[in-house]
Amino acid sequence: MKVDERKSLYDRFCQRHKNFCDPKIRDIQKSAISDAENAKSTLIARWTEVCSFVPVIGMTVNYATEYRELLTTIKPRICIVDEASEILESQLMYLISTDRLEHLIMFGDTKYSKPDVKSCTAQKHGLDVSLFDRWIQCDGKSVCLKQQSRMHPAVHELVRTFYDEDGTENIETNNIPKIKGVPSNVFFMTHNNSDDEKWTSFKKTNTFEAEFIIRFAFYLYQQGYDPAKITILTPYLGQKLLILNLLKPELKKDLSRNSKYGRFDKERNQAGKIRVELIDNYSSEENEIVLLSLVSVSKNWHEEALKTLNNKKRAIIALSRALHALYIFGNDDMLRKSEIWAPIVKLTEKSN
Q: Nearest-CA neighbor of 74 among 102, 99, 111, 93?
A: 99
Residue 25 lies in a domain: no
Whether the pLDDT of residue 190 is over 70: the answer is: yes
Domain harbouring 205, CATH code: 3.40.50.300
3-class SS shares of the chain: helix, strand, coil, % to 5:
50, 15, 40
Q: What pLDDT, in 10s, does the model give residues 192-232? A: 888 755 666 557 889 999 999 999 998 998 898 888 899 99
Cα gap 52→46, rounded to integer Å:
10
Residue 92 lies in a domain: no
Confidence class for position 258, pLDDT limits 50, 70, 90: very low
**Domain assignment of residue 307, yes or no:** yes
- pLDDT, position 144: 85
In a domain, 17, yes or no: no
Listed range (79-88, 170-179, 214-223) with the worst mean pLDDT: 170-179
Q: Is residue 100 part of a domain?
A: no
Q: Find, among 173, 178, 189, the residue nearest to 220 by Cα.
A: 178
Domain assignment present for residue 70? The answer is: no
Which tens digit of pLDDT belongs to each residue from 234-246? 999 999 999 988 8
Which letter does DSSP use for residue 85 in this model? G
Rounded CA separation 14/16 (Å): 5
pLDDT higher than threshold 60 for residue 256: no
Q: Of 310, 352, 319, 315, which is closest to residue 156 (Cα–Cα)?
A: 319
Predicted pLDDT at 257: 40
Backbone dihedral angles phi then psi of residue 327, each to the nearest 5 degrees = -125, 120
Q: 298-327 pLDDT, tens per residue? A: 888 888 889 999 998 899 999 999 999 999
The pLDDT, as a whole number, for residue 150 is: 85
Cα–Cα distance, 257 to 305 (Å, whole number): 41
Per-residue pLDDT, 201: 57
Angle in degrees, CA 149, 274, 162, rounded to 5: 40
* pLDDT surpasses 90 at 260: no
Question: Could you tell me which residues are beta bridge partners of residue 292?
Answer: 233, 328
Please answer whether residues 257 and 171 qualify as being in contact, where contact means their C-beta atoms are separated by less than 8 angstroms.
Answer: no
107 domain residue, yes or no:
no
Residue 94 scores a pLDDT above 70: yes
Return the pLDDT at 107. 92
15-57 tens-digit pLDDT: 777 777 677 777 888 899 999 999 989 998 998 888 888 899 9
43 found inside a domain: no
In terms of residue numbers, what domain contains 218? 147-350
Total structural domains within the chain: 1
pTM tops 0.85, yes or no: no
